[in-house]
């Protein structure tokens, strides 16, 4: 029998066979999410040309990242520098559209390797309008609350992802040893232990590492998490006189015990990337330090993520920067830097590195190590599977839940340094009910000032228009009783204050925003007219002074005129957290994570130093109880029925109420004792109370 097929059937059959063949050719190990990551990396690497490998090592600024460039050079990463946004007040959707456009360029390259977009999200998603701005790290260290740091990490990751970004250059794990450093506020503490504890934020940003993961292997838990970056490796907070990017003079033992521990903690927690410091260690630029980057970080600590340079970090290996870029590229890549934040002139970097490899100055093994690490992180992030972002998370940006979390962080980050001129006469909590109160100072009604540097723009801003949040003044207004008149004058004269019968005043002063070198200060003074406002207000009326600053500042000789003093650091957008504790809805709990010096000529001075003579020592912080907890304590104590409690409660009532024929019982106290917001006992119901038998007098 002879089979005869219709010609059309033959064609169909051939097409089917052809299809199978095409599919077999199309199968690429690196594109198969079921394959182990190490195999995917190996497979992809084996397909890459030198040009494609070097392209992966380049991170360029968004201002130069066109689709065409992404495709032509197979660029590995794009970033927003501080304040670099697609539009002023860009929405989450604007961000996503911009980043997806860039990503489509990367995906159209020969091998279709997705790029990763990175941004400095160092206290929330700080470049972005409408994002929740959390307290800077200097305030978070005060909380001693790693779980809070982790929750902030999770919230930040969601807000960053809401804008289509999978990579945050955070946390800064510098151990700031000298507050004259302009980046001191990016450091959790002068104490390495606190900095280590706060690396818990990495688990919030990236997700909890699985039980079975190997130490040092990076981890990113899917589309609601981001790759983190521990920075700046290493010794950035130890430079001479706190000069930014300067020289950290310390022996190996000091480096390992002060500046290194938080890197080990970060690596154990699966941090994906580490950024190198501009600074030098004993005269050698960290960007060229092979011993520490390759010898320590990669070999000894077994860090398996990638190492990224800082912005133009290679250029700054020489002085002046970019004097010999050929040398810089050689030294930086040989030291072990895997991804180079260029960020503008990428063709120069690419051509120099290419010729170095071709001429044998840099080995292919070094390039393969760099590219393997970058690809490993990209596979781990799942970005090959889902390179483009959708709008599903846009409502996370500046969400109410995140603002509540930031408000909690503000409350816990405040340090009460003085509370009343005599110990038995405390000023805080302030009464919500008062005829008239005064709020003063340059920082009372300025969202930009309370957020500090790295907010909306690199250097920060002034005023209330550039993002959304609650100033301290508006927080006070919405916390006090509706009958309390709040007068706000930023710099009142003494006569006015004296003649106005204010019940008390709140003065909010400090530093203006700054970032990096612009924040270096050898005098650490409060900005004018802060001292004048303190003199004029505190000289005339009982006052609370709130200091908004990135570090301890000179506070003498004003201490004696101040009734209560609060260090609020750089609290961010949720100023309501300050009013929460000022007015007793919550207690003060914060403890200094930095030494508060008396005079700048004592610096550097850190806890444990032999010449330690601070104004307020590391760990200092007065506490107050919230009105709620005082009530709870007295009522639950009352339920105990212990005789002395009975006596205390009874005398409290007797002193506060016009007793007359009142009868009290301890049991009924439980439901009756109430303190109003002014700390006055509510007496209306007192007549119904009975105290074990007839207490009528």
Choice from 422, 483, 610, 684 touching ligand NAG (CB under 6 A): 422
Please give the backbone phi and psi of residue 71, each rounded to the nearest 5 degrees, phi first.
Answer: -70, -50
Choice from 2, 6, 88, 212 touching ligand NAG (CB under 6 A): 212
168 sits in which H/E element: strand 167-168
Residues 6+ positions from 65 with CB-CB distance below 8 Å: 75, 78, 102, 105
Distance CA 39, CA 60 (A): 28
Distance CA 265, CA 262 (A): 5
Specify the stretch interacting with ligand NAG by CB under 6 A; choose among 71-79, 420-428, 533-541, 663-671: 420-428
Check binding of 575 to ligand NAG (CB under 6 A): no
What is the pairing mode between strands 284-285 and 485-488? unpaired
Q: Which of 145, 159, 190, 310 is catalytic?
A: 310
In the residue annotation, 211 being an active-site residue is answered as: no
Q: Is 106 exposed, middle or buried (0-12, 13-18, 19+ CB in 10 A)?
A: buried
Provide, rounded to whole angstroms, the least separation between the CB of residue 424 and ligand NAG.
4
Distance CA 299, CA 128 (A): 37
Nearer to ligand NAG, 112 or 420 (CB): 420
Taking CA atoms, 666 is separated from 624, 637, 670, 683, in Å, by: 26, 9, 7, 15
Residues 6+ positions from 497 with CB-CB distance below 8 Å: 438, 505, 536, 537, 539, 540, 541
Q: Which of 516, 563, 574, 580 is catalytic?
A: 516
Check binding of 655 to ligand NAG (CB under 6 A): no
Choice from 35, 72, 84, 91 touching ligand NAG (CB under 6 A): 91
Site for ligand NAG in 423-462 (CB under 6 A): 424-425
Name the residue with tokens 């340094």: 417
Query: For 612-680, what is the HEC assignment?
Result: CCCCECCCCCECCCCHHHHHHHHHHHHHHCCHHHHHHHHHHHHHHCCCCCCCCCHHHHHHHCCECCCCC
Check binding of 359 to ligand NAG (CB under 6 A): no
Check binding of 501 to ligand NAG (CB under 6 A): no
Check binding of 246 to ligand NAG (CB under 6 A): yes
Provide, rounded to whole angstroms, the least separation between the CB of residue 516 and ligand NAG.
13
Check binding of 610 to ligand NAG (CB under 6 A): no
Check binding of 465 to ligand NAG (CB under 6 A): no
Provide, rounded to whole angstroms, the least separation between the CB of residue 525 and ligand NAG.
5
Helix 346-358 / helix 325-335 crossing angle, nearest 10 deg:
70
Nearer to ligand NAG, 348 or 368 (CB): 348
Site for ligand NAG in 271-290 (CB under 6 A): 280
Site for ligand NAG in 335-354 (CB under 6 A): 345, 348
Specify the stretch interacting with ligand NAG by CB under 6 A; choose among 37-45, 422-430, 618-626, 679-687: 422-430
DSSP state letter for 528 = T
Distance CA 106, CA 77 (A): 9
Choice from 237, 332, 336, 398 touching ligand NAG (CB under 6 A): 398
Check binding of 550 to ligand NAG (CB under 6 A): no
Check binding of 210 to ligand NAG (CB under 6 A): yes
Choice from 16, 47, 89, 193 touching ligand NAG (CB under 6 A): 89
Check binding of 247 to ligand NAG (CB under 6 A): yes
Specify the stretch interacting with ligand NAG by CB under 6 A; choose among 266-274, 320-328, 577-585, 604-612: 320-328
Provide, rounded to whole angstroms, the least separation between the CB of residue 284 and ligand NAG.
9
CA torsion angle 546 551 553 555 (round to 10): 40
Choice from 355, 525, 623, 671 touching ligand NAG (CB under 6 A): 525
In the residue annotation, 390 being an active-site residue is answered as: no
Specify the stretch interacting with ligand NAG by CB under 6 A; choose among 118-126, 521-529, 617-625, 685-693: 521-529
Name the residue with tokens 């940003």: 205
506 sits in which H/E element: strand 505-510
Provide, rounded to whole angstroms, the least separation between the CB of residue 323 and ligand NAG.
7
Choice from 482, 483, 499, 523 touching ligand NAG (CB under 6 A): 523
Q: Which of 102, 96, 97, 26 is nearest to 63 (CA)?
A: 102
Check binding of 130 to ligand NAG (CB under 6 A): yes
Nearer to ligand NAG, 523 or 655 (CB): 523
Provide, rounded to whole angstroms, the least separation between the CB of residue 129 and ligand NAG.
6
Tokens of 591: 């403890």
Q: How far apart are the first and last CA of the chain?
A: 125
Check binding of 521 to ligand NAG (CB under 6 A): yes
Q: Which of 159, 323, 292, 277 is nearest to 225 (CA)?
A: 159
The residue ranges that bind ligand NAG (CB under 6 A) are 89, 91, 129-130, 210, 212, 243, 245-247, 280, 324, 326-327, 345, 348, 398, 422, 424-425, 468, 521, 523, 525
Q: Hey, which residues are catalytic here?
A: 310, 516
């Amino acid at each position: 029998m002879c089979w005869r097929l219709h010609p059309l059937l033959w064609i169909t059959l051939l097409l089917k066979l052809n299809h199978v063949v095409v599919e077999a050719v199309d199968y690429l190990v690196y594109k198969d999410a079921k394959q182990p990551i190490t195999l995917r990396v190996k497979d992809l690497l084996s397909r890459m040309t030198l040009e494609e490998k070097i392209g992966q090592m380049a991170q360029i600024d968004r201002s130069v990242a066109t689709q065409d460039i992404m495709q032509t050079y197979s660029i590995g990463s794009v970033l927003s520098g501080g304040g670099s946004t697609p539009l002023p007040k860009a929405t989450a959707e604007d961000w996503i559209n911009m980043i997806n456009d860039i990503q489509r360029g990367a995906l159209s390259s020969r091998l279709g390797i997705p790029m990763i977009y990175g941004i400095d999200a160092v206290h929330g998603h700080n470049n972005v309008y409408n994002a929740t701005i959390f307290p800077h790290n200097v305030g978070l260290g005060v909380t001693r609350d790693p779980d809070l740091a982790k929750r902030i990490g999770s919230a930040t990751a969601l807000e960053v992802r809401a804008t289509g970004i999978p990579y945050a250059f955070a946390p800064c794990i510098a151990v700031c040893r000298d507050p004259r450093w302009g980046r001191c506020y990016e450091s959790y503490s002068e104490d390495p232990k606190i900095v280590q504890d706060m690396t818990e934020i990495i688990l919030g940003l990236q997700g909890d590492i699985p039980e079975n993961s190997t130490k040092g292997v990076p981890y990113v838990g899917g589309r609601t998490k981001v790759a983190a970056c521990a920075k700046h490796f290493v010794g950035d907070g130890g430079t001479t006189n706190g000069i930014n990017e300067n020289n950290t003079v310390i022996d190996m033992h000091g480096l390992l015990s002060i500046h290194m521990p938080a890197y080990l903690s970060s690596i154990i927690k699966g941090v994906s990337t580490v950024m190198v410091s501009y600074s030098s260690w004993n005269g050698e630029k960290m960007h060229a330090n092979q011993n520490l980057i390759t010898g320590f970080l990669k070999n000894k600590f077994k860090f398996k993520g990638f190492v990224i340079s800082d912005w133009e970090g290679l250029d700054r290996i020489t002085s002046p920067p970019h004097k010999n870029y050929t040398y810089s590229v050689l030294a930086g890549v040989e030291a072990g830097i895997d991804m180079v934040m260029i960020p503008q002139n990428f063709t120069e970097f690419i051509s120099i590195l290419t010729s170095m490899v071709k001429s044998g100055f840099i080995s292919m093994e070094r390039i393969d190590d760099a590219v393997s690490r970058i690809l490993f992180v990209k596979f781990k992030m799942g970005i090959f599977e889902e390179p483009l972002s959708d709008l599903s998370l846009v409502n996370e940006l500046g969400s109410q839940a995140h603002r509540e979390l930031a408000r909690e962080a503000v409350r816990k980050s405040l340090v009460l340094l003085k509370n009343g001129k005599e110990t038995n006469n405390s000023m805080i909590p302030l009464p919500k009910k008062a005829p008239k109160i005064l709020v003063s100072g340059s920082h009372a009604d300025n969202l930009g000032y309370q957020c500090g540097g790295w907010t909306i723009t690199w250097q920060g801003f002034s005023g209330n228009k550039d993002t959304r949040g609650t100033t301290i003044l508006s927080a006070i207004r919405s916390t006090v009783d509706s009958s309390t008149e709040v007068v706000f004058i930023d710099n009142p004269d003494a006569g006015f204050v004296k003649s106005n019968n204010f019940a008390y005043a709140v003065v909010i002063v400090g530093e203006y925003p700054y970032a990096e070198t612009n924040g270096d200060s050898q005098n650490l003074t409060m900005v004018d007219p802060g001292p004048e406002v303190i003199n004029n207000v505190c000289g005339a009326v009982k006052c609370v002074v709130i200091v908004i600053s990135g570090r301890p500042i000179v506070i003498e000789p004003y201490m004696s005129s101040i009734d209560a003093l609060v260090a609020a650091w750089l609290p961010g957008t949720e100023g309501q957290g300050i009013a929460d504790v000022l007015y007793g809805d919550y207690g003060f709990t914060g403890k200094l994570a930095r030494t508060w010096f008396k005079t700048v000529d004592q610096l550097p001075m850190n806890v444990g130093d032999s010449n330690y003579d601070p104004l307020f020592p590391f760990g200092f912080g007065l506490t107050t109880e919230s009105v709620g907890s005082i009530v709870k304590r007295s009522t639950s104590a009352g339920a105990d029925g212990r005789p002395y409690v009975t006596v205390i409660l009874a005398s409290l009532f007797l002193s506060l109420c016009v007793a007359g024929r009142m009868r009290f019982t301890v049991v009924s106290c439980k439901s009756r004792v109430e303190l109003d917001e002014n700390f006055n006992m509510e007496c209306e119901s007192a007549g119904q109370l009975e105290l074990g038998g007839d207490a009528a007098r």
